[in-house]
């Protein structure tokens, strides 16, 4: 049972345009969501997060949107740069017996073309 | 500020052997988490240690174990290694009361 899903395995975008990465979740107990960027053979790098009490959080070129009713979040990167090319993972955490555990999606490969 | 560090970078073992992986958290962080990323699979939660205690455990057999030391560094031990234990093992840390986990570069374990 995959509780966090990234349905697009890959996304290709032109430099300077907007990249939109999507993530869906099924567990209504999730209350904190994060996006990570990962290069091959390296650990994930934290990008941005959002609490379930918010619907938007911005940090520079990165904005995360949360739609709790649809159980959907998205990461917008504007403008996209070639250095953004990497695998992007969304992750979610919940309290209770799942506290401390991040549940990850399968990842989306973003390629930004010059 | 130094990030999460892990050692060794690569580790090659044979079936049935034991592997020990090490992690040093970011200075000031008290929680350490371990994840496994096997080929073709996503990141799977293994263990969470905080203040020297195991706080939560993922769906892995007991031969995956670990500990956290008084300086908050951590070890992950994998006993009776199996071929399917070959994976990238990632350690993360967080400060007390926060949910954001910061990851290290990982240890690539290969079981032959």
Q: What's residue B40's pLDDT?
A: 79
Interface of B with A in 3-62 (CB under 8 A): 4, 6, 31, 33, 35, 42-43, 45, 48, 50, 55-56, 58
Q: How far apart are CA B38 and CA A19, in angstroms?
A: 27
Name which of A43, A98, A106 is nearest B42 (Cβ-Cβ).
A106
Q: How far apart are CA B42 and CA A66, in angstroms?
A: 22
Handedness of CA A27, A29, A35, A40 (dihedral sign): negative
What radius of gyration do chain A's Cα atoms show?
14
Largest CA distance in chain A: 46
Give Cβ neighbours of residue A31 (< 8 Å, ≥ 6 apart).
A51, A52, A93, A94, A95
CB–CB of B32/B72 below 8 Å? Answer: yes
Residues from chain B contacting residue A101 (CB–CB below 8 Å): 33, 45, 48, 56, 58
CB neighbour class for A53 (10 Å; exposed up to 12, middle 13-18, buried from 19): exposed
List, for residues A32-66, the tens digit of each pLDDT value: 999 999 998 789 999 999 999 999 999 999 999 99
List, for residues A63-110, the tens digit of each pLDDT value: 999 999 999 999 999 999 999 999 999 999 997 667 789 999 999 999
List, for residues B2-44, the tens digit of each pLDDT value: 899 999 999 999 999 999 999 999 999 999 999 999 987 889 9
For residues B97 and B79, the model is more confident at: B79
Residues from chain A contacting residue B33 (CB–CB below 8 Å): 100-102
CB atoms inside a 10 Å sphere around CB B22 = 15
């Amino acid at each position: 049972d995959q509780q966090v899903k990234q349905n697009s395995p890959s996304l290709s975008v032109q430099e300077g345009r907007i990249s939109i990465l999507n993530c869906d979740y099924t567990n209504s107990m999730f209350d904190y969501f994060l996006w990570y960027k990962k290069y091959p053979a390296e650990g994930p790098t934290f990008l941005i997060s959002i609490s379930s009490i918010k619907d938007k959080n911005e940090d520079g070129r990165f904005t995360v949107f949360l739609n709790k009713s649809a159980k959907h979040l998205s990461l917008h990167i504007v403008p996209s740069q070639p250095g953004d090319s990497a695998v992007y993972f969304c992750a979610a955490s919940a309290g209770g017996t799942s506290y401390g555990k991040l549940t990850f999606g399968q990842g989306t490969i973003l390629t930004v073309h010059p | 500020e130094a990030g999460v560090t892990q050692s060794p970078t690569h580790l090659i073992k044979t079936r049935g052997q034991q592997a020990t992986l090490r992690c040093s958290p970011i200075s000031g962080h008290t929680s350490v988490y371990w994840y496994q990323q096997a080929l073709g699979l996503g990141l799977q939660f293994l263990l969470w240690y905080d203040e020297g205690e195991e706080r939560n455990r993922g769906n892995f057999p007991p031969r995956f174990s670990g500990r956290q030391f008084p300086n908050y560094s951590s070890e992950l031990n994998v006993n009776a290694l199996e071929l399917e234990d070959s994976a990238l093992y990632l350690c993360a840390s967080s400060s007390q009361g926060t949910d954001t986990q910061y990851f290290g570069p990982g240890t690539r374990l290969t079981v032959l």
